[in-house]
Amino acid sequence: MAETTPANSGQPRRKRPPPRPVNVERVEQVSPRLTRVTFTGERLADFGPSKPGGHIKLLFVPDGVQWNPDDPNDETPRPPSRTYTPRFYDQGARELGVEFVHHGAGLASDWAHAAKPGDPMFIGGPGGGYDVAEDTTKIVIVADDTAMPAAGMVLEALPIGCDAEVLCEVTDGGDERDLSPSVASAPIWLHRAKDGARPGALLEDAVRGIARDNGLSHWWIACEAATMRRIRDFLLDEIGVDGEKLHNRGYWRLGESNYPDHDYGKD
């Protein structure tokens, strides 16, 4: 996430607030491969609501390093960061809940595995996100496990009466869970471990199976980046989905650490 709006974006330059210092308040094991970490800190008071599918940056300050993003004269290099979903925000309690998938070795995944109350963190954002069209009557939500927190936020933002078909790809049945505490959904669960499928393959097959019946629907898609691109191309080129009704974002990329947070499959 850039500190300012890029100069070539056509938007007036806007200074973002510096990342907020927070501490871990609670750690909950939601499922075998998902940990929910709730952060707290006075500076979350003006964090504000995020759009569904919006993101934050978590900044991991190495042990022994002092970093003060509020101090413009602090010359400490910006710590490494990763992109996550601001899933549960409670302004009154100054709390922000983030859900971490344990995908294997990775800075953020490893950090969440060991997280405990009191641990420090810096949080940048929120930014980005999905504007639900008011006239949405049917939407297909396509998510892997990293995008399930965001998918829950999308469900909660849909107009009343909107019909949502949800495809979720996870490792196995142990990862199945409610996407939202307030909105019911009945996802089609796809278990990649069963067939040893590469990440995204089952989502892609499932989309091919239902796409022709959903050519006029809105689509919200977030998963492994190469998979997202294949699904996007298929929907646009073979099904003729209106590009205005298609929102797709790569959340990570196989074999690539710290994948950029702005892959919308358009280049």
User: 13 Cβ partners below 8 Å, 6+ apart?
Assistant: 4, 5, 7
Tell me whether residue 83 or residue 227 sits nearer to ligand FAD (CB atom).
83
Minimum distance from CB of 221 to ligand FAD (Å)? 12
Tell me how far, at minimum, the Cβ of 211 lies from ligand FAD, in Å: 24
Q: Residues 6 or more apart from 215 whose CB is under 8 A from it? A: 239, 240, 241
The bridge status of strand 34-40 relative to strand 95-101 is antiparallel
Alpha-carbon 173 to chain mean position: 21
Chain residue at closest Cβ approach to ligand FAD:
106
Least distance between ligand FAD and beta carbon 212 (Å) = 29
Nearer to ligand FAD, 74 or 256 (CB): 256
Q: Between 55 and 245, whose beta carbon lies closer to ligand FAD?
A: 55
Q: Least distance to ligand FAD from the beta carbon of 239, Å?
A: 25
Residues making contact with ligand FAD (CB under 6 A): 55, 82-85, 99-101, 103-104, 106-109, 146, 149, 199, 251-259, 261
> Which residue, 21 or 86, is less far from ligand FAD as judged by CB?
86
Sheet harboring 246-252: ordered strands across? 188-191, 163-170, 138-144, 218-224, 246-252
At position 7, the amino acid (one-letter code) is A
Return the structure tokens found at 154. 């999308």
Closest CB to ligand FAD among 25 and 144? 144
The answer to whether 162 and 137 are in contact (CB under 8 A) is yes
Q: How far is the CB of 56 from ligand FAD (least distance, A)?
A: 8
